[in-house]
């Protein structure tokens, strides 16, 4: 379970102060698949970075399974990112000179998983996200945007996190692959009780989630999900 309490993040740009996250509060039960929609620049990525402990809030707190991020020392935050969070970045952020398999193995290496085991798991994950088997050993910078996106998703799943934060995960995928990824995420939340928060512009995806939030100028509101359109 993740509880977000009065979260605020402000930036000073010049003499102006902007608040991409302005007093945001919500609670997600474990295993929920939720989406956040909103215009570009409305603060979606900033909110995700706070939930994923990439950034620290100006005020407010995120409590994960009863543990407050605000009070965690940096070492524990690193462990939290490694064990509890799977992050899918808008721009993939893979290591360009490593192969697809090596990228997926990285979080497992940091978590101390044995080499043979992490290689096997990395291959399984890449298969799940439907990356061509012959492209598994290819360097990232020789893969297409859609292929990179799938490697990024596989990497986020590597350490079986409790919470997956995905910033427009289907943005670079064709409709068919996108649907497959959505199915994969739904299955994860259903079968593995993984909480998933997806930022998306994709109406189809937003409508397939359990809950839907809208972010407007830093303010979060929940919208009803219409199951059938």
- Binding region for another protein (CB under 8 A): 45, 49, 52-55, 75, 78-79, 81-83, 85, 87, 89-91, 93-95, 97-98, 102, 105-107, 109-111, 115, 155, 159
Contact (Cβ atoms closer than 8 angstroms) between residue 185 and residue 218:
no
What separation, in Å, do the N-terminal and C-terminal C-alpha atoms of the chain show? Answer: 29
**18, 106, 111, 184: which one contacts ligand ADP (CB under 6 A)?**
18
Closer of 93 and 144 to another protein (Cβ)? 93
**22, 35, 42, 45: which one contacts Mg ion (CB under 5 A)?**
45
The verdict on 35 binding ligand ADP (CB under 6 A) reads no
Closer of 40 and 97 to ligand ADP (Cβ)? 40
Q: Residue 83 binds what, of Mg ion, ligand ADP, another protein, none (CB under 5 to 8 Å, by partner type)?
A: another protein
Please give the DSSP secondary-structure letter assigned to residue 139: B
The verdict on 169 binding ligand ADP (CB under 6 A) reads no
Q: Residue 58 binds what, of Mg ion, ligand ADP, another protein, none (CB under 5 to 8 Å, by partner type)?
A: none
Distance between CA atoms of residues 154 and 112, nearest Å: 18
Contact (Cβ atoms closer than 8 angstroms) between residue 185 and residue 152:
no
Contact (Cβ atoms closer than 8 angstroms) between residue 25 and residue 218:
no
Show Cβ contacts of residue 118 under 8 Å, excluding neighbours closer than 6 positions. Answer: 105, 108, 109, 158
Query: By C-alpha distance, which of 132, 163, 162 is closest to 150?
Result: 132
- Report how many residues bind ligand ADP under the rule CB under 6 A: 12
Distance between CA atoms of residues 171 and 161, nearest Å: 22
**22, 46, 159, 172: which one contacts ligand ADP (CB under 6 A)?**
46
The verdict on 40 binding ligand ADP (CB under 6 A) reads yes
**24, 28, 44, 107: which one contacts ligand ADP (CB under 6 A)?**
44
Q: What is the dihedral of CA 46, 18, 27, 68, to 10 degrees?
A: 80
Closer of 2 and 50 to ligand ADP (Cβ)? 50
Cα 9 from chain centre: 19
Chain positions contacting ligand ADP, by CB under 6 A = 11, 13, 18, 20, 38, 40-46
Chain positions contacting Mg ion, by CB under 5 A = 45
């Amino acid at each position: 379970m993740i509880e977000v309490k009065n979260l605020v993040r402000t930036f000073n740009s010049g003499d102006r102060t902007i608040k991409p996250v302005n007093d945001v509060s919500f609670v997600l039960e474990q295993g929920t698949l939720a989406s956040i929609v909103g215009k570009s620049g409305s603060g979606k990525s900033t909110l995700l970075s706070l939930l994923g402990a990439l950034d620290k809030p100006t005020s407010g707190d995120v409590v994960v399974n009863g543990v407050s991020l605000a009070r965690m020392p940096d070492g524990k935050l690193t462990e939290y990112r490694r064990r509890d969070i799977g992050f899918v970045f808008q721009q993939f952020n893979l290591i360009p000179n490593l192969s697809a398999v090596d990228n997926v193995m990285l979080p497992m290496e940091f978590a101390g998983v044995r080499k043979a085991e992490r290689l096997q798991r990395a291959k399984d994950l890449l298969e799940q996200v439907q990356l061509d088997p012959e492209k598994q050993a290819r360097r990232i910078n020789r893969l297409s945007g859609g292929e990179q996106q799938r490697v990024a998703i596989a990497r986020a799943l590597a350490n079986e996190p409790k919470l997956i934060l995905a910033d427009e995960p289907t943005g670079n995928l064709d409709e068919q692959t996108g649907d497959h990824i959505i199915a994969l995420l739904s299955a994860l939340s259903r079968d593995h009780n993984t909480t998933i928060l997806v930022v998306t512009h994709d109406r189809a995806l937003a409508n397939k989630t359990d809950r839907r939030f809208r972010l407007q100028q830093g303010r979060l509101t929940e919208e009803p999900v219409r199951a059938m359109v």
